[in-house]
Each structure stands twice: as C-alpha cells, then as structure tokens.
A and B are shown apart, each in its own frame.
Chain A
Amino acid sequence: MAESLVLIEHHRQQVKRPSLHAITLARKLGGEYALLVLGHRLDGIAASLVSYGACAVVVADDPALAKPLADRYATVIAEAARKRGAKTILGTSSTFSKDVLPRAAALLDAPMVTDVVAIEEMDGSISYRRPINAGSMFAIVKVEGDRRVLTVRGTAFEAPAADAAPCPIKRFDFDAASLPNGTQFISREERKSDRPDLTEARVVVSGGRPLKDKETFERLVGGLADALGGAIGATRAAVDAGMAPNDYQIGQTGKVVAPELYIALGISGAIQHLAGIKDSRIIVAINKDPDAPIFQMATYGLVGDLHRIVPQLIESIRRA
C-alpha cells in the first residue's frame, strides 16, 4: 500500500509538467508513492508517467471524467485514496488542484495544507512550511489524523528525474453511474500560443497598467517576450483594465512564477504582485517612478519611460 498518492494534471493529451513537481515532495516524505490521473482516453498520458519512481500509475479513465468537474473528481480521488490506504494525497498548486483537492479533503475528513514550500522533521513528525499574507510571512504548520491533503507550490520543488525502471499501470475501477450529477461543463477558452507556458518559461516579461491598452501591451510586452523566447505575464491592474486575459495574472491570487529572468514593465511592485515573483533568479524593473517599490527587489533597475525603452531593448537584443 502506497503512503502517498500524487495527483497529476494533464491538458490536451499532455502531462502538465509543473504538476510533476509534487512527486519531488512525495519522494522527500519517504515511503512509496503512486501517481493518479483522472480523465478519459489516458493511455498515452499513463505511459508517459511510468519512469518517475512510483510504485504504480493509477488511472481512473471514464467518459464521465472527460471534463474536470470538481464534484466527480473529488469523489473518485477520495475513493482511490481510501482503497489504496494513502496517508498523504498531494498535487501541485493550480486552479485545478485547488478546485478539487479541498473537496476531496472534506470527503476524507482530512486536514489540508495549501502551497507547501518545504517540510521539516520535528520530534518525529513532519511540519509544513507555507506562505501567508501574500508571501510576506511563512507559517509552519502541523497536522493530525490518519490522512492529510497537500497542495505543493511547484516553484519550490525541482522537477523530478524520470529515470526509474517502469512501474505498472493500474486501472482504478469505480461506479461512474453513481458519480454526482450537479455540474455540467459548458465551454472553455482555448487560446493557442506559440509562447512557452507561463509557469514553465525560462524568461517571463510582464506588464502593468502603464501599457495603456491591449494593442500596446501585445506590441511591447509581447514583442520583448518574443525577442527573448519567453512567456507573458500581467498584473491584476492590467487584467482588470482588459489589457491581458486572466491567465496571464501573476501574484497572490494569480500564478506564482520563478523563471531565470523576470522583466517587469511599468509595474510598481505591490506586495500582492511581488508574492508571485520573489523566487525569480534575476528581476529587471523598468519604471518611470524612481521610488517604485519594485526597485527594492529588482536585480537591475532602469528608471525611464517604458514606451521609449522597450523598443530600444527589443532592438538591442535582436541585434546581438
């Protein structure tokens, strides 16, 4: 019986790579871990997961799970955790895992810890470190009980190596007809992009409200991102103003990123935004206001008008 059960996320027939990072925490926790995927037509996905050192890849495959409906998914996850005797159920933080795992925790009567960034062993028990107050503090938390549910901050753990001997793929059987029926999937935006995924990109270029409008945002932020082969991010203010879609939002209630290079254009550095970028290796800030708080966090700061600077920067990068 595996100690831990790791929920792996997938989209359009591909595993979401950041969701694999939870495996690294499962390895640190010790004991055996199984990987769990839910959905429909999962053969390819399951096959791609056999080398991550799990004792099994557990697959819940059924048309009833074709869309990630929280009430159905949580029911199946809770059942799988019970049947397999899992003590810890974990997944990388994402809107998917945050939608589904707390509900599963309630069904399992288990406490839950959100956004674990590290664990410590203290007097024979494990404590979990997690950010609070928009990342300005950490709380160190202990839980009791037979089971616990965790979401893991993907940027706090490395990608696991996939070099283990292949493990078996096990089909998880459940009664699809008795799954909840209260939710219906209607539609989802499917914007295709050649740019890398925001949470996986090596370079992220982000814009704030001074970018004025959607066209300027795409031209300058998008232009610089493309010159660097990076992804685009945005502040809440920019998304609220309609310059960028919600999935570009970085911060306390958006995505948390930790790229090699983060370039902040016209971003003042509100604490809620900084919460999403603190672990970037290099931060560059370009802002007209020399007193903008972001300059205190930036590795390199350039004071000036981004509308003048960014085209020069794009040109300079392209030239070399």
Chain B
Amino acid sequence: MKILVPFKSVPDPNDATVVGAAASTPKSVINPFDEIAIEEALRIRERGEATEIVARILRVLIEKEAPHVVIMGKQAVDDDSNQVGQMLAGLLRWPQATFVSKIEFLGNKTRARCTRETDAGLEVIEIKLPAIITTDLRLNEPRYVSLPGLMKARRKSIEVLTCDQLGVTVRPLTTVISTARPPKRAAGTRVESVEELVTKLRQEAKVL
C-alpha cells in the first residue's frame, strides 16, 4: 500500500537547546503529517499507475497550504516513474529542481540554489520560490525515529480527506493491464583463474 507524504520540517518545539551561538541551524523534526488526501486516490493508485492523478491531488493540497517549497522524493522505488514532482511543478507553473543532492536557501528564502545529479555530472541552478524540489539519494541520510518521537507521533491526529472534500475529480488516464516477470538470465559458469577467464572471453564469448 502506498501513502503520499508531503510533510513539513519544523524546528523542534521540544528542543530547549536552540539558543545562542551554538545553534546556528535549529534542530528540525518532521511534522507528523497534518493532512493527507488518501482514500479514493489510493484505490485508483493501486488499480493503476495514475501518476497524473497523484499530481493533481497534491496540487490542490499545495494551493491550500501555500508552502514556500515542496520537497519530495524523485521517484517511488516500486513504480520507478519519476514523474510526479515535475508534473506538479507544471500544473502549478512553479520552478522545479529535480534529482537534487544539495539545497541552499538564499535571498532571505526567496531562492534556492540546488545541485542536481545529472547524466553529465553535477549541475547547479537557482530557482525562485515557491518551487518543487525532488530529492536524489545523496541529499541526506534519513535519521531513525527515536522512541520518544514515536510515542509523540502516536498522540497526533491524522486528518483524512477525500477527493470530494478537496474538490478534485479524478479519472485515471493510465491503467496497468498486467504485470509480468522478465525472463531470468541463464546461470553462467565459475572460472578458476585469470588465464581461464581471458581464454573464455576470447574464444567462447568472442568479446575480447
């Protein structure tokens, strides 16, 4: 089952040490989700790969919340589509920075300087906020939830909204008809030495 998680990072309200020179960057915690639009979107999502619906529902939420920046993963590791962030940016007509491995906020939080991981190496762009940023692997190392954090999260309430409540109609344009397993590669052989490897690559595989 898939859950959408657009979430906010907030200064830790329980952290009393955020004072003075020692705290150049306040400690942040993830705000255990305030609102999620799930039910109907999830069922449609499970029936098919309707990524454009995901983008539309997020758009309505974003217009409601009016964040300065939306930060989301670049792709879901089950579906591997890598579309939602970019589609959302298109729908909102906001700037986008995708596959980001470093973010720096500038100009009193009116711009973000983002380093992107591209096929040609690292690229740096600056985008005006509000904007969509999709994260790549090396942006950070997610922390483990602490036990007190987990206990606190249990006491929070989660608001569940339906598409109707958000005023969104959804009609998926993409359907998954079936899934299939790819053919397995035939098992190969072990070689015992460099000489044997080179000989086989040359004579058998004819690749050297």
A13 at the interface (CB under 8 A from B): no
Identify the stretch in A20-28, A125-133, A161-169, A212-220 within 8 Å (CB) of chain B at 4 or more residues: A125-133
The residues of A that contact B124 with a CB separation of less than 8 Å are: 186-188
Distance A297 CA – B106 CA, assembled complex (angstroms): 48
C-beta contact mask, A282-320 vs B, less than 8 Å → 1, else 0?
111000000000011111111100000100110011001
Distance A204 CA – B57 CA, assembled complex (angstroms): 42
Identify the stretch in B20-28, B73-81, B156-164 within 8 Å (CB) of chain A at 4 or more residues: B73-81
Say yes or no: B117 contacts A95, CB within 8 Å.
Answer: yes
A151 — nearest CB in chain B belongs to which residue?
Answer: B82
C-beta contact mask, B163-196 vs A, less than 8 Å → 1, else 0?
0000000000111111111100101111111110
- For the complex formed, measure the closest distance between the CB of A56 and the CB atoms of chain B, giving whole angstroms: 26
Contact pick for A114, options B81, B98, B181, B194, CB 8 Å = B81
Q: Which of A99, A102, A236, A316 has the most CB of B within 10 A?
A: A102
The residues of A that contact B101 with a CB separation of less than 8 Å are: 246
Say yes or no: A182 contacts B201, CB within 8 Å.
Answer: no
C-beta contact mask, B13-52 vs A, less than 8 Å → 1, else 0?
0000000000000000000000000000000000011111
Contact pick for B95, options A104, A127, A180, CB 8 Å = A180
Contacts A104-B90, A114-B82, A302-B191: A246 and B180 contacting too (C-beta < 8 A)? no
Distance A111 CA – B51 CA, assembled complex (angstroms): 8
Identify the stretch in B1-9, B62-70, B126-134, B147-155 within 8 Å (CB) of chain A at 4 or more residues: B126-134
Contacts A11-B120, A261-B201, A301-B188: A102 and B86 contacting too (C-beta < 8 A)? yes
Say yes or no: A141 contacts B175, CB within 8 Å.
Answer: yes
Distance A148 CA – B205 CA, assembled complex (angstroms): 41
The residues of A that contact B78 with a CB separation of less than 8 Å are: 132-133
Say yes or no: A301 contacts B191, CB within 8 Å.
Answer: yes
A70 — nearest CB in chain B belongs to which residue?
Answer: B96
Distance A260 CA – B201 CA, assembled complex (angstroms): 11
The residues of B that contact A177 with a CB separation of less than 8 Å are: none
- Total contacting residues, chain A, CB less than 8 A: 88
- For the complex formed, measure the closest distance between the CB of A98 and the CB atoms of chain B, giving whole angstroms: 5
Say yes or no: A302 contacts B121, CB within 8 Å.
Answer: no
**A94-122 contacts to B (CB < 8 Å):** 94-96, 98-107, 110-115, 122
The residues of B that contact A313 with a CB separation of less than 8 Å are: 194, 197-198
- For the complex formed, measure the closest distance between the CB of A294 and the CB atoms of chain B, giving whole angstroms: 10
A104 — nearest CB in chain B belongs to which residue?
Answer: B90
- Interface extent on B, as a size class? 35 or more
A188 — nearest CB in chain B belongs to which residue?
Answer: B123
Contact pick for A106, options B74, B81, B91, CB 8 Å = B91
Say yes or no: B86 contacts A99, CB within 8 Å.
Answer: yes
The residues of A that contact B202 with a CB separation of less than 8 Å are: 320
Say yes or no: A103 contacts B90, CB within 8 Å.
Answer: yes
B84 — nearest CB in chain A belongs to which residue?
Answer: A102
Say yes or no: A134 contacts B90, CB within 8 Å.
Answer: no
Contact pick for B173, options A111, A236, A301, CB 8 Å = A111
Identify the stretch in A37-45, A47-55, A79-87, A247-255 within 8 Å (CB) of chain B at 4 or more residues: A247-255
The residues of A that contact B179 with a CB separation of less than 8 Å are: 132, 137-140
Say yes or no: A317 contacts B208, CB within 8 Å.
Answer: yes
The residues of B that contact A100 with a CB separation of less than 8 Å are: 86
Distance A125 CA – B142 CA, assembled complex (angstroms): 43
Say yes or no: B180 contacts A182, CB within 8 Å.
Answer: no
Contact pick for B121, options A99, A110, A247, CB 8 Å = A247
A173 at the interface (CB under 8 A from B): no
Contacts A303-B190, A309-B194: A71 and B96 contacting too (C-beta < 8 A)? yes
Contact pick for A191, options B79, B82, B121, B200, CB 8 Å = B121
- For the complex formed, measure the closest distance between the CB of A144 and the CB atoms of chain B, giving whole angstroms: 5
Say yes or no: B80 contacts A131, CB within 8 Å.
Answer: yes
The residues of B that contact A185 with a CB separation of less than 8 Å are: 123, 125
- Between A and B, 26 residue pairs with Cβ closer than 8 Å are A70-B98, A74-B86, A98-B82, A98-B86, A105-B83, A105-B87, A111-B50, A111-B51, A135-B182, A141-B175, A182-B131, A184-B125, A186-B113, A187-B124, A188-B122, A236-B137, A252-B80, A282-B207, A283-B185, A295-B188, A297-B188, A299-B188, A300-B190, A300-B191, A302-B192, A317-B208
**In the A-B complex, the 9 residue pairs with the closest CB atoms:** A106-B90, A182-B95, A102-B86, A189-B121, A111-B173, A103-B90, A106-B87, A102-B83, A299-B188
**Given A106-B89, A144-B175, A302-B194, 6 other A-B residues pairs in contact with their CB atoms under 8 A:** A105-B52, A114-B80, A133-B78, A140-B177, A183-B96, A252-B80
A residues with CB within 8 A of B: 11, 69-71, 74, 94-96, 98-107, 110-115, 122, 127, 129, 131-145, 180-191, 199, 203, 228, 236, 239-240, 245-247, 252-253, 255, 260-261, 278, 281-284, 295-303, 309, 312-313, 316-317, 320
